[in-house]
Structure 1
Amino acid sequence: MAADSDMEKTEDPTSKKLDEAAEKGNIARSKELATALVLLGSSVGILIFGKEVANTTLTVCKRLLSLNYKDIFDENAMFTAMGAALTEVSIPLFKLFLVIAVAGVLGNILLGGYNFTWYGASFRPSKLNPLAGLKRMVGLQALVELFKSVLKVVIVAGVAYVLLVVFFDDIMALSLMSSPEDIAAAVYLLSWMFFGLCSSMLIIAAVDAPYQTWNHHKQMMMTKQEVEDEYKNSEGNPEVKGRIRRMQIQMSRRRMMEAVPTADVVVTNPTHYAVALKYEHGKFRAPVVVAKGVDQMALYIRQIADANKVPIVESPALARSIYFTTELDHPIPEQLFAAVAQVLAYVYQLKAYRKGKASRPKTLAKELPIPEGFRH
């Protein structure tokens, strides 16, 4: 039962899967919404520029059908008239086509946004698979498309019937008009009827767009196993990451242990914390933490320091302060300069005393100058 539940697509698609699907052109799209907006844009464009297009066309027709004696014998008259006609008609037609183009772009990006990919246009043998085509013909998607087709016929036919009933008298009155008034009236009437028919397509789009969004989300749903596999692939296998982390820690510890013998002093808690400091005049602006650790690591640092005769100084407050405020291989903050300077001065005097070059130094003060904000 657990295995069956893992194979059920119960999880929402991850952003990674949605992005990969979008790269292949698999996004929510509604052909009905795009068609509706193109038709609606066309009808709106005709309502706005239809009269201008009709009047321009009428003027051109009058010009081409009205020939004088000179035009009859002029060999270039036809080409001149055609050029003038195209120039005159192209301006209002360009306005109309521009509105249609804008509507077409909006219709295609309104649902799913802008997405361009060559993957959808590329050749793939799977497109030639007859079983896949048969599945599309008899599946749920085919039933939905059949339902939409029937719904379109019913709605468009119903709206067309209503428009014919409403504008019947106006349509019949066109036969009683004379040109050019009948042309302008006919364009006006047909524009509004076309707008009504195109508006009916919005009903189909209002049904199809939410369905396409839901259907795309359903197709993108993932099983729990798929989510886990994707996480492992993107974030890395936890076991591998854990092993890498352990190796990094081991390498860091080994590097610290190699750096302890070169340190000038090890400041301890004395048992829980230990930090090794190194100062090279002219190379660093301040002492640098070359090793630090707590508990077992602190014990290793003290053991290596003792074996290599690196001075060990007990200063619990300073050891904790350096441990929590300074990263490995970084200089100590300037707020701790005064306290560390006293420690280093004590260490240098102690080394000189051991070599017989100076008197025994005074015991290091128990309370070093550590600011309140640096006490841990």
Structure 2
Amino acid sequence: MAEEDKSEKTEQPTARRLQQAQEKGDVPKSQEISGWFLLAAGLAILAFMVPGLSRAMALDLRLFFANAGTLSLDPGAALQLVKDTGIRIAILVAFAFLTLLVAGLMGHFVQHGLMFTPSKLEPKLSKLNPAEGMKRMFGPQGWMNFLKGLGKLALVGAAMTLVLWPKQDELAVMALVDLGSILGVIREASIQLMIAALIVYAIIAGADYLFQRHEFTERNKMSRREIKDEYKDTEGDPLIRAKLRQIRMERSQRRMMANVPQASVVVTNPTHYAVALKYVQGETPAPVCLAKGVDKVALKIREIAEEHNIPIVEDPPLARALYASAELDELIPETHYKAVAKIIGYVMSLAKGRRDRDKSR
């Protein structure tokens, strides 16, 4: 059943699934990248800090032996000397430790940024279960880690051999030279070895990170049903959303139709489009779109306009343009002011003519 479920997970993980995985602390993470940063920090310490530490200790020793005859045998003075030397060494060691700590944090930061997952800190009895531990050690993942470790040793060992092989004659006579020269040769060889290891380890870390990203994606793949369920959870049931959209549209149309009796004129196409406009001189700075619609809605707007004796003007190009650009309950675009002004003027002249006729009667 598990294999069947796994075979159904064929879809790429969604952004929400990836976010949920990150919240649980599940991210593509390569230990090799962290190891590379630690190795780089070790190289920096060896190349820059160890020489300074060596010179400081050598200076202390020279000063000690040079002034051995004048040193006080008082226990307090001897204790102070040991204390001063210990503080200098402790500062250097602390700085080296801090460098390694920052390097370790950088190894995690470059992969997934700052991340804090309290769930990872919760104690789990499964981690103390010997059977689970043996399963992890001798399972597929354990064998993969074992083979990966052998491959790393082989590649790093080959790189170190390439560095040391040209120096075999020089290393063979190390016992015949003085201690200072030996330390210099060892330091130089160590730096070269670490540079070679860094180059090889960079390739290993890059390949391992790509592998971990692939495993992370495979681990979080989803079935089509899971994607549908997630979509319902985030966006809602499509049927419910369609029903709500229909209800909102019906309410909007009812409000729009209720505004039609307030219109000053209705511009039509003549039957496919209808736009109801309101303009009251001194009240509205420009005509306002009260209602608009096509086909059945346009016909309904015409019917209401006829019931309330609202002038209907046929202007197909203007009706289509107003329907496309005018927003409900807002002023019409300035580009249509001139054309609408002519219609409003025409309607107002008709109204004035009717009033004059009524007065003459």
Cα offsets for 1:255-309 (capped at 9, x unmatched): 0111011112222222222111112334321010101111111111111122223
- Give 1:211-250 correspondences, 5 Å limit: 211-250=211-250
* SS in structure 2 at match of 1:267: strand
| C-alpha separation in 1, matches of 2:78 and 2:184 | 29
* SS in structure 1 at match of 2:289: strand
Shifted more, 295-304 versus 194-203: the winner is 194-203
Which amino acid is the alignment partner of residue 36 of structure 2?
A
1:72 matched residue in structure 2: 73
Shifted more, 58-67 versus 75-84: the winner is 58-67
1:82 aligns with 2:83: yes
1:364 matched residue in structure 2: none
Cα gap change, 1:349 to 1:106, in 2 (>3 Å): same
| C-alpha separation in 2, matches of 1:49 and 1:159 | 25
1:259 matched residue in structure 2: 259
Cα gap change, 1:61 to 1:155, in 2 (>3 Å): farther
Query: How many angstroms does 1:207 deviate by?
Result: 4.9
* SS in structure 2 at match of 1:116: coil
1:351 aligns with 2:351: yes
1:116 matched residue in structure 2: 115
Is contact 2:261-2:304 (8 Å) kept? Answer: yes
**TM-score, normalized by length of structure 1?**
0.78
Cα gap change, 1:147 to 1:328, in 2 (>3 Å): same
| C-alpha separation in 1, matches of 2:165 and 2:349 | 112
Gaps of 5+ in 2: none
Is contact 1:275-1:319 (8 Å) kept? Answer: yes
Query: How many angstroms does 1:82 deviate by?
Result: 2.5
| C-alpha separation in 2, matches of 1:276 and 1:146 | 78
Cα gap change, 1:93 to 1:240, in 2 (>3 Å): same
2:275 matched residue in structure 1: 275
Cα gap change, 1:7 to 1:328, in 2 (>3 Å): farther
* SS in structure 2 at match of 1:221: coil
1:363 matched residue in structure 2: none
Gaps of 5+ in 1: 361-376
- Give 1:1-376 correspondences, 5 Å limit: 8-63=8-63, 67-73=68-74, 75-84=76-85, 86-87=87-88, 90=91, 94=95, 100-101=100-101, 103-110=103-110, 112-123=111-122, 125=124, 130=129, 135-152=135-152, 170-171=170-171, 173-193=173-193, 201-202=201-202, 204-205=204-205, 207-356=207-356
Is contact 1:174-1:186 (8 Å) kept? Answer: no
Query: How many angstroms does 1:254 deviate by?
Result: 0.2
| C-alpha separation in 2, matches of 1:195 and 1:266 | 82
Structure with the largest fraction of helix:
2
Which amino acid is the alignment partner of residue 79 of structure 1?
Q
Cα gap change, 1:55 to 1:92, in 2 (>3 Å): farther
Is contact 2:163-2:192 (8 Å) kept? Answer: no
Which amino acid is the alignment partner of residue 80 of structure 2?
F
Is contact 1:267-1:276 (8 Å) kept? Answer: yes
Aligned residue pairs total 355
| C-alpha separation in 1, matches of 2:33 and 2:292 | 66
Which amino acid is the alignment partner of residue 31 of structure 1?
Q
| C-alpha separation in 2, matches of 1:6 and 1:139 | 18
| C-alpha separation in 2, matches of 1:317 and 1:162 | 83
Cα gap change, 1:180 to 1:318, in 2 (>3 Å): closer
Query: How many angstroms does 1:143 deviate by?
Result: 1.7
| C-alpha separation in 1, matches of 2:134 and 2:75 | 63
Cα gap change, 1:359 to 1:129, in 2 (>3 Å): farther
Which amino acid is the alignment partner of residue 19 of structure 1?
Q
Query: How many angstroms does 1:334 deviate by?
Result: 2.8
| C-alpha separation in 1, matches of 2:149 and 2:286 | 80
Is contact 2:53-2:89 (8 Å) kept? Answer: no
Which amino acid is the alignment partner of residue 72 of structure 1?
L
Cα gap change, 1:129 to 1:85, in 2 (>3 Å): closer
Sequence identity of aligned pairs in percent?
Answer: 31
Shifted more, 153-162 versus 59-68: the winner is 153-162
Cα offsets for 1:206-257 (capped at 9, x unmatched): 5533322221222122222223333333344322221121111101110011
Cα gap change, 1:117 to 1:321, in 2 (>3 Å): same
**TM-score, normalized by length of structure 2?**
0.80
Cα gap change, 1:50 to 1:266, in 2 (>3 Å): same
Shifted more, 227-236 versus 57-66: the winner is 57-66
* SS in structure 2 at match of 1:11: coil
Cα gap change, 1:293 to 1:152, in 2 (>3 Å): closer
* SS in structure 1 at match of 2:218: helix
Cα gap change, 1:103 to 1:319, in 2 (>3 Å): same
Cα offsets for 1:163-214 (capped at 9, x unmatched): 7776555455443334444444444444445555666655653553332222
Which amino acid is the alignment partner of residue 29 of structure 2?
R
Query: How many angstroms does 1:71 deviate by?
Result: 2.3
